[in-house]
C-alpha cells in the first residue's frame, strides 16, 4: 500500500489520463490484448420522421506489452525500520524509477497525435511579450476546440524542462497559483491558463522526422472509409468485430514525386493533403484547417519516387464519424507538419480521455517469504511485490512489478506542441 501511494504521487503524465483497471482483465498476461471502450457517436435528425441509428460501440485494442519492475536486495535488519524509514530507504528509489518508465512509455503516444502546432527547433513559450509567448499555447487550445474536445476542466498541457524554463517567467502573470506551493515541487504543477492545467515532465519524447524529400503528390485518390479503426459492436449479432475486417488497421494512400530510393518517413510524422480539410466532429462543418494524418512505420520511396503511405487513421467523408470534407484528388500536393531532420520535443496539450493506460493484476506466487498485490480501482493501478530470503547472505531479494499497456483512445483530443 505504501509503494502504491508512492507510485501515484510520482506519476506525472499518467495521473492526468484515463486509467482503466478492470476486474475482467484479471486473467490477462504480458502480450495479451484487452479493449478500452469509446463512447458512441451519432448524427442528428432534422424533422418529424424517425431516423433510427444503431448504437455503434467502438473498442480500442490495448496490448499489455509493458511489465515494468525494479529488482533489489536489502538486509533483514531493514525490515525492523519504521514504515516511513523503510519507504524512504528501500521503496521510494524503486517506485520512482517505475513511475518514470510508465510516464515515458505513455508519452510515446504523442507520435499517434495528428494535430501539430509550433515549430520544430523553437522552444514553445518563447516570445518578447506574454502575448507572443502565449501564442503557441493559444493555437493548441484552438485546435482542441476545433476537434470538439470537452471543456470540462480535464484539459492538460505537459511540457519539458526547456519549455517550462521560458514559459513560467513569460506567463507568470497568467498562470494561476496552485493551492499549495509544495504541490508545485512534488508533481511539477505550474498552474492553469487558457483552460489548460500546465505541468512539466522530463519524460517528454523527442522525435526526428524523416527526409520527407521531393515534391510529393497523390497518385491515386483513396476510397473513403465508413468507420474508425477499432472493433465495433454490431447490434444484430451482439459481437465485436474488427473494423475494417482486417488485422492490419491502416489507411493507405498511393503517392508519387518523392526523391527516389529514400527513407522519407521514420513513422510518427504528420502529413497534410491539399483540399482535405478537417471537420468539427459535432457540426461536421469545415474547421478551416487541413486535416493532419499520422504516417505509421518507416517508409522508403521506390526507384521511381513512388510510395504508399500507411496512415493510422482513415479518411471518413460522411456519417457520425466524418473527419474530412473530402478525400484528396489525384495530383493533390502533400505537405508536412514537422520539419525534416530536426529533433523536436513532442510536448502535449490533451484531454484526459485522449489516452488510456490499462493496468491488470499479476498473479501472487506462493512458497516465498513475502508476496502481495495491491490494486486500486480509483487509481486504476495494480502493483505486486514478491521477496525471497537468502539464508547465505541474510539478504532479501525483492521485486516490484506492474503490468500495463498504453493506447491512444481519442488522439484527436490531443495536440503536439513542437519544441
Whether 411 has a pLDDT exceeding 70, the answer reads yes
Provide mean pLDDT across the span 197-226.
Answer: 95
Instruction: Judge if 329 and 363 occupy the same domain.
Output: no
Tens of pLDDT along 88-144?
Answer: 777 888 888 999 999 999 999 999 999 999 999 999 988 767 777 789 999 999 999
Whether residue 6 is found in the same domain as residue 131: yes
- The residue from 316, 337, 358 where one domain ends is 337
Both 355 and 264 in one domain: the answer is no
Q: Is residue 48 included in any domain, yes or no?
A: no
Say how many domains are in the chain: 2
pLDDT at 278: 97
Q: Residue 50 falls within a domain, yes or no?
A: no
**To the nearest whole percent, how much of the chain has pLDDT over 70?**
87
Does residue 368 share a domain with residue 272?
no
Q: Is 49 within a domain?
A: no
Residue 51 lies in a domain: no
In this structure, are 354 and 370 located in the same domain?
A: yes
Give Cα 8 distance to the centre of its chain: 19
CATH code: domain of residue 122 = 3.90.1690
Domain CATH number, residue 302: 2.40.30.240
The set of residues, in sequence order, having a beta carbon less than 8 Å from that of 262 and lying 6+ positions away, is 211, 213, 214, 300, 301
Q: Which three cell numbers stand for residue 177?
A: 497559483
Of the listed ranges 88-97, 264-273, 360-369, the least confidently predicted one is 88-97
Query: Does 275 lie in the same domain as 182?
Result: no
Residues 205, 227: one domain?
A: no
Structural domain includes residue 77: yes
Separation between Cα atoms, residue 126 and residue 79, nearest integer Å: 50
- 366 assigned to some structural domain: yes
Q: Indicate if 173 and 28 belong to the same structural domain.
A: yes
| Residue 194, CB-side half-sphere exposure with 13 Å CA sphere | 22
Tens digit of each residue's pLDDT (9 = 90 or more) over 133-173: 789 999 999 999 999 999 999 999 999 999 998 887 776 66
Average per-residue pLDDT in the chain? 86
Residues 14 and 140 in one domain: yes
235 vs 201, which has greater pLDDT?
A: 201
Residue 182 confidence (pLDDT): 45
Q: What is the dihedral of CA 16, 22, 25, 29, to 10 degrees?
A: 30
pLDDT in tens, 28-66: 788 888 777 777 777 777 888 888 776 666 778 888 999
> What pLDDT is attached to residue 183?
46
Which of 300, 319, 337 lies at the terminal end of a domain, its last residue? 337
Q: Does 70 share its domain with 187? A: yes
Three-state secondary structure readout of 343-408 = EEEEEEEEEHHHEEEEEECCCCCCCCCEEEEEEECCCCEEEEEEEEEECCCCEEEEEEEEEEEEEE
d(CA 234, CA 59): 12
Q: What average pLDDT does this structure show over 185-206?
A: 79
d(CA 102, CA 104): 6
400 and 316 part of one domain: no
337, 363, 380 — which closes off a domain?
337
The better pLDDT of the pair 126, 26 is held by 126
Least confident of 69-73, 74-78, 393-397: 74-78
Are residues 111 and 3 both part of a single domain? Answer: yes
DSSP letters, 261-314, are T-EEE-SS-EEEETT-EEE-TTT--EEEEEPPEEBPS-EE--TTS-EEEEESS-
Residue 302 lies in domain:
212-337
**Is 285 within a domain?**
yes
Amino acid at each position: 500500500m505504501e509503494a502504491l501511494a508512492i507510485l501515484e504521487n510520482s506519476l506525472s503524465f499518467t495521473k492526468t489520463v484515463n486509467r482503466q483497471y478492470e476486474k475482467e482483465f484479471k486473467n490477462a498476461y504480458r502480450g495479451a490484448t484487452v479493449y478500452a471502450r469509446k463512447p458512441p457517436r451519432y448524427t442528428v435528425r432534422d424533422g418529424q420522421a424517425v431516423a433510427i441509428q444503431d448504437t455503434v460501440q467502438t473498442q480500442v485494442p490495448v496490448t499489455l506489452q509493458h511489465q515494468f519492475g525494479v529488482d533489489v536486495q536489502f538486509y533483514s535488519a531493514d525490515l525492523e525500520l519504521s514504515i516511513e524509514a523503510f519507504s524512504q530507504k528501500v521503496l521510494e528509489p524503486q517506485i520512482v524509477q517505475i513511475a518514470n518508465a510508465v510516464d515515458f512509455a505513455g508519452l510515446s503516444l504523442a507520435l499517434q497525435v495528428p494535430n501539430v502546432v509550433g515549430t520544430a527547433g523553437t522552444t514553445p513559450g518563447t516570445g518578447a511579450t506574454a502575448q507572443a509567448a502565449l501564442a503557441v499555447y493559444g493555437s493548441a487550445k484552438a485546435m482542441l476546440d476545433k476537434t470538439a474536445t470537452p471543456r470540462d476542466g480535464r484539459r492538460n498541457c505537459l511540457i519539458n524542462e526547456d519549455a517550462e524554463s521560458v514559459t513560467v517567467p513569460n506567463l507568470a502573470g497568467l498562470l494561476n497559483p496552485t493551492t499549495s506551493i509544495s504541490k508545485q515541487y512534488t508533481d511539477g504543477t505550474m498552474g492553469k491558463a487558457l483552460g489548460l492545467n500546465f505541468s512539466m515532465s522530463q519524460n517528454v519524447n523527442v522525435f526526428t522526422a524523416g527526409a520527407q524529400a521531393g515534391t510529393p503528390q497523390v497518385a491515386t485518390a483513396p476510397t473513403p472509409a465508413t468507420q474508425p479503426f477499432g472493433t465495433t459492436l454490431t447490434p444484430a449479432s451482439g459481437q465485436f468485430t474488427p473494423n475494417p475486417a482486417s488485422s492490419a488497421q491502416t489507411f493507405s494512400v498511393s503517392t508519387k514525386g518523392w526523391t527516389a530510393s529514400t527513407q522519407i518517413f521514420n513513422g510518427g510524422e504528420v502529413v497534410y493533403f491539399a483540399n482535405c480539410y478537417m471537420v468539427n466532429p459535432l457540426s461536421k462543418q469545415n474547421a478551416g484547417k487541413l486535416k493532419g494524418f499520422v504516417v505509421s512505420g518507416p517508409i522508403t520511396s521506390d526507384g521511381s519516387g513512388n510510395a504508399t503511405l500507411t496512415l493510422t487513421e482513415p479518411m471518413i467523408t460522411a456519417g457520425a464519424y466524418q473527419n474530412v470534407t473530402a478525400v484528396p484528388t489525384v495530383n493533390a500536393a502533400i505537405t508536412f507538419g514537422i520539419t525534416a531532420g530536426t529533433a523536436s520535443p513532442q510536448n502535449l496539450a490533451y484531454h484526459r480521455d485522449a489516452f488510456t493506460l490499462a493496468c491488470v493484476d499479476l498473479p501472487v506466487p506462493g512458497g516465498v517469504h513475502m508476496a502481495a498485490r495491491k490494486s486500486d480501482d480509483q487509481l486504476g493501478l495494480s502493483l505486486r511485490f514478491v521477496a525471497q530470503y537468502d539464508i547465505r547472505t541474510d539478504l532479501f531479494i525483492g521485486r516490484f512489478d506492474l503490468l500495463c499497456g498504453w493506447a491512444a483512445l481519442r488522439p484527436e483530443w490531443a495536440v503536439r506542441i513542437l519544441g
